A and B are shown apart, each in its own frame.
With several copies, the nearest count.
Chain A
Amino acid sequence: MPPSEHELRLRERLSRLRNMPLLGGAKLSGELERLQRQIDRLGEEPTEDEIWRSVELARHADRPYTLDYVERLLDDWFELHGDRAGLGDDGAMVAGLGKLGTRTVALVGQQKGRDIQERTRRQFGMPFPEGYRKAIRVMELAGLHGFPVISLVDTPGAYPGVAAEQHGQGGAIAASQAAMARLTVPTVACVIGEGGSGGAIAIALADRVLMQENAIYSVISPEGCAAILWRDAGEAQKAAAAFKPDAAHCLELGVIDGIVPEPGEGAHTDYDAAARLLGESLREAVDGLAEVPGDELRRRRRAKFRALGVFA
């Protein structure tokens, strides 16, 4: 059905806050009041409690993960494996091809685990360098064939271990960003849970960067920040309030282009609805980029990230 008057006004206000793609989620009946709340929140300053609630929801054990969205959003999904370099196939990074509507897309994303075995196999969603190299390989494959790239970001950070360092964690994260900066296909990233630092930005140098309403995106975890600046990890809540990892603030700072609404009390309460809302936003974002020539996409993408920062 066509959007209502009221809805249009709301969505317009929302988009004015920072010219972001209108949120597909808003099209869904029953989402309007959430959208309204979201807009109100964007209006005023989120409280320390609201920010902390995002932190908790972003890390919620029942929150949908990358593959939960893949199975609901992509047809003909085919997962690709391996770094082709002999370091193996990283379980924390998922990469593959599938159809978003009629379009073939490449999807990359971190994947946490549900039970302890899977968490271990997937390193709690913290990729090794070989995981980023797998993502690079699949993104470049997409570039060769003109497939849009979608990345779903959900990681506490890149894996902090001896082998990961020896395999070249810093270089792999840099190389993955560089590969995305070179792509001439549409790229859309969405933070669906924890957007943890370098491990997150490695796959988030995209034409459109979205965040789910209760996701967080930050340069350091609240605990890490508190431990360093407050000398007390217990002050995590205070730290979070100080560096503001919530979607509303990331939108205000121009770090993201749009917020994807979540159903009910959060994505974990209704996977299908969360997937519908995410899917609509992803499709809208890809559609909006599909007609732009590749080199122009790349030029704008670089210009966008090169404009980030506040200095005088």
Chain B
Amino acid sequence: MAKIDVSVQTDDKPVPPPKHPNTCPSCHSHYRDDELEGALWVCGQCGHHFPMRARSRIASLADPGSFVEESAGLHSEDPLHFFDLRPYGERLAEAEMSTGLADAILIGPAAIEDRSCELAVMDFSFMGGSMGSAVGEKFSRACDSAAERGAPLVTVTSSGGARMQEGILSLMQLPKTVCAVEDLHDAGQAMIVVMAHPTTAGVLASFASLGDVLLAEPGALIAFTGPRVVEQTTREKLPDDFGLAAQNLRFGHLDAIIPRPEVRPTVARLLRLFDAPE
């Protein structure tokens, strides 16, 4: 028991997608990509929230054309020359190919209902949204950019855990991003966090929990240790809603659960509140 590490959530990656990737896992309705894109990737039948790619997310949040990507090309190196069944470099290249992203987060200034802010949006499709050097650095730059422009930071999190292939450096992204948030706060700026499914492990144990306001999407898994590891490690019987947004709200860890269509107006309202002249 004492030997099992609890911080890695990779086994909480969503189960392999069904044949038709746009089949709703809860009500089994089928959709075309454009249908789901138009519906913010929310099932029209049952309200299930499908995973949302970072660029779609930004399009759904920011005023049209207001987002300007920063540090687009920044990517992780391979300091450990990590090689498991395949080299880390190969996995990175593959992820870049399949996602069109340099790593698991996009950052940059944007406007939401005409209020300027900085965005930092994670993408689970890139190696499970795991946090390595690139994610940590880009999130930290987003904090600085927000502080410099005197605008709040809005971050959307989705992460399955640590970027194991970067070893201890991936753990160091926790204190790194925590320090970046503290610098942001010392600059008098707010951070609004929107936790999408799943927000776990190192991301939850660092910047995601330090927002001035903590929002989550319905059904999002929000846990430091995911259900499977808890079961395997402690043999405990898990409550049905273990680690889900609803449970986190009930236990006092969230300010509100916001359905995806309400996220933009809610964030806009919070920006009006935090922008207000003192």
Contacts and interface: CB of A to CB of B under 8 A. Distances in A.
A–B interface present (Cβ within 8 A): yes
Interface of A: 59, 76, 78-89, 97-99, 102-104, 112, 119, 124-126, 130, 134, 141, 144-147, 156-162, 164-171, 173-175, 177-178, 181-182, 196-202, 204-205, 217-221, 223-225, 228-230, 239, 242-245, 249-250, 253, 255, 301-302, 305-306, 308-312
A170 B223 contact: yes
> Which of B164, B247, B272 neighbours the largest number of chain A CB atoms within 10 Å of its CB?
B164
A245 to B, nearest CB: 7
On chain B, which size bracket covers the interface?
Answer: 35 or more
A233 to B, nearest CB: 9
Interface string B29-58: 000000000000000000000000000000
Interface stretch (B17-25, B60-68, B118-126, B253-261): B253-261
Interface of B: 1-8, 10-11, 74-80, 82-85, 132-134, 136-137, 140, 162, 164-176, 178-183, 185, 188, 190, 200-202, 204-210, 212-213, 222-225, 229-230, 233-234, 236, 238-239, 242-243, 247, 249-256, 266, 269-270, 272-274, 276-278
B205 A103 contact: no
B169 to A, nearest CB: 6
Given A165-B224, A224-B8, A230-B84, A306 B140 contact: yes
Nearest to B278: A146
A250 B76 CA distance: 18
A220 B8 contact: yes
Contact of A157 (B6, B170, B178): B6
B4 A221 contact: yes
A223 B4 contact: yes
Contact of B179 (A104, A112, A171, A306): A306
Contacts of A250: 168
A244 B188 contact: no
B3 A223 contact: yes
A219 B206 contact: no
Contact of B252 (A130, A178, A196, A242): A130
A126 B167 CA distance: 21
B140 A228 contact: no
Given A89-B250, A144-B188, A310-B166, 9 more contacts: A145-B274, A159-B6, A162-B238, A181-B175, A205-B178, A242-B83, A309-B132, A309-B137, A312-B77
30 contacts: A78-B270, A81-B252, A88-B250, A97-B273, A99-B272, A130-B252, A134-B252, A160-B225, A162-B238, A165-B224, A166-B247, A169-B225, A177-B175, A198-B7, A204-B175, A217-B168, A217-B171, A219-B7, A228-B10, A228-B11, A242-B80, A242-B83, A242-B167, A243-B168, A245-B167, A301-B179, A305-B172, A308-B176, A310-B166, A312-B75
B277 A103 contact: yes
B255 to A, nearest CB: 5
Contacts of A253: 79, 167-169
Contacts of B7: 157-158, 196-199, 219-220
A201 B171 contact: yes
Contacts of B164: 219-220, 225, 228-229, 243
